[in-house]
């Protein structure tokens, strides 16, 4: 399987924002999803700058990436979608884990991110990686094909969460898993940046996802700043 880049109209997907100052951009109506301005920094990003942010010691999901990978229990031959792939931190780990018989779909708002992910995949001889530059209303994932959909520090960037959850649900096989890792939003615990930047707390995320055809089937507790939830397609 060669490397593939899929473009869709309107490059306005959701990506994590971990190192910018508090923007206070979240809408008062949490059900409305993220304010589109929260995703503007990823429209024309400098790959190296963001790689230095996303893949640096001190970022919890980077420091604990191997523990996260182990907790996912991926198997050879699985199909995995990395939504909000960013600079490919987890894409490479997944591609190695599922092997040549599996497939990893790096999905992101940024054509620059995806272009670099595919370039690095070629240089690393990883032939099981595909890139998707998607929109708010399409994932370009075939129905009933994914074993795991992984969303790390990205769920709070969904501008249309109900639409995205429907598309994720459609893409998963029966019994497939949606894994969501995102920031804990808790007064007195979370930073002011998180309190302003993140739309929902853990319980709100669970309620929203369970209303979209999923059931909470597991939770890992080894992360401090983030929660780690696993949902199963009903």
Average pLDDT along the chain: 87
Cα gap 120→28, rounded to integer Å: 40
Is residue 184 a contact partner of residue 226, using CB atoms and an 8 Å limit?
yes
Cα gap 58→53, rounded to integer Å: 10
**pTM recorded for the entire structure:** 0.84
Looking at per-residue pLDDT, the higher value among 6 and 17 belongs to: 6
DSSP label at residue 8:
-
Maximum mean pLDDT: which of 42-56, 64-78, 190-204: 64-78
For residue 31, how many C-alpha atoms fall within 13 Å in the half-sphere facing its CB?
2
User: Does the pLDDT of residue 52 top 80, yes or no?
Assistant: yes
Q: Which of 10, 19, 21 is nearest to 43 (CA)?
A: 10
Q: pLDDT grade, residue 42 (50/70/90)?
A: confident
Q: pLDDT grade, residue 5 (50/70/90)?
A: low
- Planar angle of CA 227, 154, 129, nearest 5 degrees: 110
Looking at per-residue pLDDT, the higher value among 50 and 95 belongs to: 95
Percent of all residues in the chain with a pLDDT value above 90, rounded to a whole number: 73
pLDDT digits (tens, 9 = 90+) for 122-152: 999 999 999 999 877 789 999 999 999 999 9
- Planar angle of CA 114, 115, 120, nearest 5 degrees: 95
Looking at per-residue pLDDT, the higher value among 66 and 41 belongs to: 66
- Position 171 scores a pLDDT of 98
- Position 75 scores a pLDDT of 98
Is residue 28 a contact partner of residue 193, using CB atoms and an 8 Å limit?
no
What is the topology classification, in CATH, of domain 4-233? Rossmann fold (3.40.50)
Is residue 82 a contact partner of residue 107, using CB atoms and an 8 Å limit?
yes
pLDDT digits (tens, 9 = 90+) for 74-103: 999 999 999 999 999 999 999 999 999 999
Residue 157 in tokens:
């960037």
Biggest distance spanned by C-alpha atoms of the chain: 49
User: Does the pLDDT of residue 109 top 70, yes or no?
Assistant: yes
Residue bearing tokens 């059931």: 215
Q: pLDDT grade, residue 6 (50/70/90)?
A: low
Residue bearing tokens 């306005």: 12
- Position 4 scores a pLDDT of 53
């Amino acid at each position: 399987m060669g490397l593939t880049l899929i473009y869709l109209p309107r490059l306005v997907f959701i990506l994590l924002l971990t190192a910018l100052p508090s923007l206070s951009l979240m809408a008062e109506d949490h059900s409305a999803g993220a304010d589109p301005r929260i995703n503007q920094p990823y429209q024309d990003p400098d790959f190296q700058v963001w790689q230095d942010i996303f893949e640096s010691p001190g970022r919890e999901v980077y420091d604990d990436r191997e523990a996260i990978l182990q907790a996912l229990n991926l198997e050879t031959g699985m199909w995995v979608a990395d939504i909000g792939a960013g600079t490919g931190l987890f894409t490479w780990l997944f591609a190695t884990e599922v092997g040549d018989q599996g497939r990893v779909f790096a999905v992101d708002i940024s054509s620059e991110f995806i272009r670099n992910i595919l370039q690095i995949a070629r240089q690393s001889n990883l032939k099981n990686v595909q890139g998707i530059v998607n929109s708010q209303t399409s994932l370009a994932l075939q129905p009933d094909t994914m074993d795991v959909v992984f969303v790390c520090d990205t769920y709070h960037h969904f501008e249309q969460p109900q639409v995205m959850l429907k598309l994720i649900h459609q893409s998963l096989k029966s019994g497939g898993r949606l894994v969501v890792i995102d920031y804990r939003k808790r007064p007195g615990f979370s930073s002011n940046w998180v309190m302003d930047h993140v739309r929902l707390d853990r319980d709100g995320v669970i309620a929203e996802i369970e209303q979209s055809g999923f059931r909470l089937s597991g939770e890992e507790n080894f992360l401090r700043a983030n929660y780690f939830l696993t949902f199963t397609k009903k």
